[in-house]
Structure 1
Amino acid sequence: MAGPIGGPFPRRLVALSVLLGALLLIPPGLLDPEGLRALWRYRAARDAISRHLASRKLPLDPRYPFLGVDWSITTTTQGELGAKRLSHSPIWALRAVGWFKEAGLKPGDRIAIFSSSSFPALLASVICAAEAMDLRVTLVVSLGASSYGANRPEVPWPDMEEAMRSQGAIRARSVAYTLGGDGEVGGGIPEEGLQVLLESVRSSGIPLWRERVLQRKLELVDLIGPRLVVSIGGSAANLGSDPAVLDLPSGLVRPPANGGDGLVGMALNRGIPVLHLINLEGLNRREARRHPRWASLVGLLAFASTVWSFRRWRLE
């Protein structure tokens, strides 16, 4: 392979260069113990949903097991297929660990997750990340879902949650559900769809909040005193009616910030940081820019150039 000029070709240096190049492909957080645990938990959650769907003889795409359908009787709004597929990426479990660390969270800290059912894979990722870091999770989920979310009438979110819990993928259990839709009280969902959701709640044994949803969420926040509030999707009570929330960036938001008159804004007003997970495709692009790899690439190229400049060897 090599023609020596004063010495053999340095294979170990080449191996090191290859290793450094491979490290460029590793997502940030993957080498952290918490990140690895979050990934394993999320994989277990995906597998649990896949097994559950297979046991019910329901259509299953193993790449996107949480994926729902275009439209159904429990669908609230039109959603983007690309965003729902993107939400299945395990990178969100790693990013959630990173956000939790950025917020200064430690094992035993309490977080409150208020989520719609529109992004069940993302919700599973956040739960898995929180449990990988031994955070205490208080969970409230609205059950109506946009297109391709948890909008299959055969497997609404309570069914998914129980499947993951019963198979040991997650420990978290919702403390309450809401119906979602307009006002987060079922507005816009047809009666047949509401009956499906109500039956799933009855089967779960978990309380259903059908009125004063925002007030109940705020009362829960005041009661448990979370170190972080997580808002996933576009639940009505989470976002409120003030357009100021539309100017709030996705990702980790620290007070002071104007988040409008919904739960997100009220939590910020209380001095509680908010992990605001919405506009997933834009957030994905922004996170990719936050962790650029050009500097590492430049370093690798400089290393390779330095090695190549030594004329003690040459390739033949």
Structure 2
Amino acid sequence: MASRSELGEFLRSRRNRVRPEDVGIPSYGPRRVPGLRREELAQLAGISITYYTRLEQGQSGQASESVIEALARALALDDDERAHLHDLARPTPGKPRRRPRPAKVRPGTERLVHAMGDVPAVVLGVRTEVLAWNTLGHRLLAGHLDPAAPGRPADRPNLTRRLFLDPHHRDLYARWPEEAARAVASLRLVAGRHADDRELAELIGELTMRSPEFAALWAKHPVATCVSGTKYFRHPEVGELVLDFEALLLADEPGQRILTYTAEPGSASEAALRLLATTVHTRQTQLTS
């Protein structure tokens, strides 16, 4: 039922952004809704207004492939939004939300991120929980936290929770609004694919209740795949960094990915990252000497 409710909210959010004049529908006088009316969208998609209304109100079962594609075309959805619509409109039936076992990182994966000595690397679970990180990844993202925390399921840092609720983590991002919008758009996509995940639902509920900024972003139903891009840091030890990130999906562990950060060769950010790595190595030497 939650997926059907979210389907209706998603459809409303997307039809509200389509201007009638952009799709050839004449508008006479003021309108009560900012975008398309239900009957206008149904007409554009070639389906009955009765069926569309039932779909938006969560009163219809799984929509057919042809209906989903017709709605996606009528709403001019991008690839991420189209995939999200499929997830919401055709959920796995009879699968209640469950509390899964704590995720585990494979020993080989953990060895791999530690072998990336001068590249910050983090292994994330489906809910953006940190399953493992190398020393430089820890110092870049959360040097104020216990480096051993990812090894304890009850204490694992969650990057999305930290982004909205941890002042240290918030201050780390020079462009926090941009980072927050990207995090919510990515989480929306994940939530559509894992509607049965109880811990994911609890995370979203917690953030909605505790962070007005998260709640406002979540209500807009943003959807985006965030597997690469640029992040702007304001690091407490080495100052400003502009780093490119890559999310490397793990084929044998669905939902898990390795997040890496690199700097443009010859840039001030590369020098700052190298300085951070040097301080890490120096402290490790002092601890072992």
TM-score interval (norm. to shorter): under 0.3
TM-score (norm 1): 0.26
Between the two structures, name the one with larger relative contact order (CA 8 Å, sep ≥ 6). 1
Q: Which structure is higher in helix share?
A: 2
